[in-house]
Amino acid sequence: MPGSRSDFFKQRGILTHNAPPAILLKARSIISRLEAGMPYWQLHGKSLQSDRQVISIPVGSAWRILAHDRNGRVDARQVLSHSSYNHRLNSF
């Protein structure tokens, strides 16, 4: 369906890992604010200690957006559950 939530993520190449619609709605809002220039730390985002270029931004208590800081521009790459996020961190 044109204009659907999934189109927003597909156009940007963001993996959504089967996130529920309510989480996708929140993630879309966060990503739109990032794209408008809001600093990630104002969205409660933090860079990872293991790789300072990787940014984690919470989407509720059980989901995260993983993004990359590329010379001050933060590009969202994934919306994933907190358990998937923890698994991914353990693989760094």
Counted domains in the chain = 1
Q: What percent of the chain has pLDDT over 90?
A: 67
Q: What pLDDT was estimated at residue 5?
A: 58
pTM: 0.86
> pLDDT digits over 1-21, tens only?
345 557 999 999 999 989 999
Domain that holds residue 75: 5-90
Domain holding 34: CATH number?
3.30.2310.20
Q: What pLDDT was estimated at residue 89?
A: 66
1 vs 21: CA distance, rounded Å:
15
State the average pLDDT over residues 29-50: 94
